Amino acid sequence: MAPQALDGIRVLDLSRILAAPFASQLLGDLGADIIKVERPGVGDDARQYGPPFLTDMHGNATCDAGFFLSCNRNKRAITVNHAKPEGAAIIRELAAKSDVLIENFRGGVLAKYGLDYGSLRHVNSRLVYCSVTGYGQDGPYSGRPGYDGVFQAMSGMMSVSGLPGDGPGAGPIKVGVSMVDILTGLYAANAIQAALRHRDRTGEGQHIDMSLLDCGLAALSHYVQNYLISGIVPERRGNGGYGGVPSQTFRCADAEIFVVASTNKQFVALAQVLGRPDIPQDPRFCDVSTRIENRDALLIILEGEFAKRRADQWLLDLDEADVPASPINDVRTVFDNPQIRHRGMLASVDHAIAGEVPVLRNPIRMSATPIPDAAAPPTLGQDTIAILRDLLGRSDDEIASLRMEGVI
């Protein structure tokens, strides 16, 4: 098997729910050894975020929700009660043998057990310690709880999502996916790898302070930058955007499609497909800037043209004209897409209880360090004995005693 990019890196994963587990899953996909630490008998809260729940090979529901499966592949699992001194000691031992620790407890919680960065840096000075919280480690909101929807609202993301105006169906709307969680996980994984690079140069670990609110705001990107240089608050544009025009959905005779013709070349080609070569000659629509300035007038014309034919007819002609366009897939029809099938985005893993389970494949493709087939998300405590025995040198009697005392 070809080496993976993060072979030799061990990550101690104390996180739950989505943002931080997503970050550690990405590191695991890239070859890091992820040791997921969960509460005995309960586990990561995300295991309970169903239905739907995974079914075993006999069709019976398990205790693992699809939500949990989405962000916990390529991990080993151990159950440890960190609130017991013996449990905290086990986590400190694991941290001493790890390169990275990821956690998403509220600020100050782990310090009670000597598991904060200030404590663990004395155990392992090379440790990269990543804290993922709603608001960060400092500031007036640092002690508050929060979830993805709260941060979509607070960061401004909801304000630019949804239909414009105040009519029926209009108003701010949450992005369907837990987008701030996903983005924070991506930022965190990126930061961890940068910190490892620094550690390898200097020998020094460091603390990474990731805030969901910060990441949600940063994700607004050009929306915020446009505001900063103009003072104009972005309005909601439904399925339209703030780049070139057009870039949005259009209702055809039978269904909606998404079309982008943001360059002059694409726009001329679009006009030819629509049978309206006159449109690019109109001074209001002759270049990128004038089309943005006269967006509303242009969209009225385009909407009238698209309504004349079926979606599949338009998509065929747009493809031949090299104009980017797509049907509006759902999560069922997306897997019928020939490009998705060719890229192998639907994979499967061999689960300890359920057998073969379909999963999404990591989209990263690397020529020298390819990502191999994934290991299934672990059952609760699946690797507890192996980790304690093989990594920490605990005897069978010691492990039995820890189990009786409720430490594991």
**Is 334 a member of any domain?**
no
Tell me which residue of 59, 52, 3 sits closest to 32, measured CA to CA: 3
| Same domain (yes/no): 367, 319 | no
User: Same domain, yes or no, for 17 and 125?
Assistant: yes
Tell whether 227 is covered by a domain. Answer: no
Task: Report the distance separating Cα 59 and Cα 55, nearest Å.
Answer: 5
In a domain, 333, yes or no: no
Tally of domains within the chain? 2
pLDDT computed for residue 2 by the predictor: 76
Tell me if 279 is assigned to some domain: yes
Q: Are residues 159 and 299 in the same domain?
A: no
Tens digit of each residue's pLDDT (9 = 90 or more) over 25-59: 999 999 999 999 999 999 999 999 999 999 999 99
- Which residue in the list 64, 181, 209, 317 is annotated as catalytic? 181
Q: How far is residue 11 from each of residues 28, 117, 388, measured CA to CA in Å?
A: 8, 15, 16
Helix (H) or strand (E) segment spanning residue 267: helix 264-273
Lowest mean pLDDT among 4-13, 234-243, 309-318, 362-371: 234-243
Q: Angle of helix 311-320 relative to helix 264-273, nearest 10 degrees?
A: 130
CATH code (residue 254): 3.30.1540.10
Strands (E) across 233-375 are located at 247-251, 256-260, 325-327, 346-351, 355-360
71 and 208 inside one domain: yes
d(CA 40, CA 1): 34
Same domain, 269 and 311: yes
33 and 144 both lie in a single domain? yes
pLDDT at 3: 86
Residue bearing tokens 């989209």: 363
Confidence check: pLDDT of 302 > 80: yes
Greatest C-alpha distance within the chain: 84
Q: Which residues contact 149 (CB under 8 A, 6 or more apart)?
A: 174
- The 10s digit of each residue's pLDDT in 140-176 is 999 999 999 999 999 999 999 999 988 888 999 999 9
- In whole angstroms, what is the distance from residue 180 CA to residue 157 CA? 9
**Residue 223 covered by a domain:** no
pLDDT > 70: percent of the chain: 100
Asked whether residue 123 falls in the same domain as residue 256, the answer is no
3-state secondary structure of 74: coil
Burial 17-55 (b: 16+ CB within 10 A, else e): bbbbbbbbbbbbbbbbbbbbbbbbeebbebbebbeebbe
C-alpha dist (Å) from residue 38 to 74, 116, 132, 144, 295: 15, 17, 17, 23, 52
**Based on the domain organization, do 93 and 158 belong to the same domain?**
yes
Task: Give the Å distances, CA to CA, from 43 to 40, 63, 68, 78.
Answer: 6, 10, 10, 9
Domain annotation covers residue 310: yes
Is 281 inside a domain boundary?
yes
Domain that holds residue 264: 247-327
* Residue spans of alpha helices (H) in 321-388: 338-343, 384-386
Q: Residues near 17 by Cβ (< 8 Å), separated by ≥ 6?
A: 44, 45, 46, 104, 181
Tell me, yes or no, whether 99 lies in a domain. Answer: yes
pLDDT score of 242 more than 90? no
Is there a contact between 147 and 237 (Cβ–Cβ < 8 Å)?
no
The reply to whether 85 and 172 lie within a common domain is yes
* Pure H helices in 97-178: 117-120, 148-155
Residue 267 pLDDT > 90: yes
Q: What pLDDT, in 10s, does the model give residues 54-93?
A: 999 999 999 999 999 999 999 999 999 999 999 999 999 9
Q: What is the rounded average pLDDT for all residues in the chain?
A: 97
Quick check: is 181 catalytic? Answer: yes
- Do 213 and 67 fall into the same domain? yes
Higher pLDDT: 1 or 373? It is 373
Question: What is d(CA 2, CA 87) in angstroms, rounded to the nearest whole number?
Answer: 36
The pairs formed by 358-363 with CB atoms below 8 angstroms and a separation of 24 or more are 359/69, 359/73, 360/70, 362/26, 362/29
* CATH code of the domain in which 54 resides: 3.40.50.10540
Same-domain pairing of 149 and 258: no
Distance, in Å, from the CA atom of 137 to the CA atom of 153, rounded to the nearest integer, reads 20
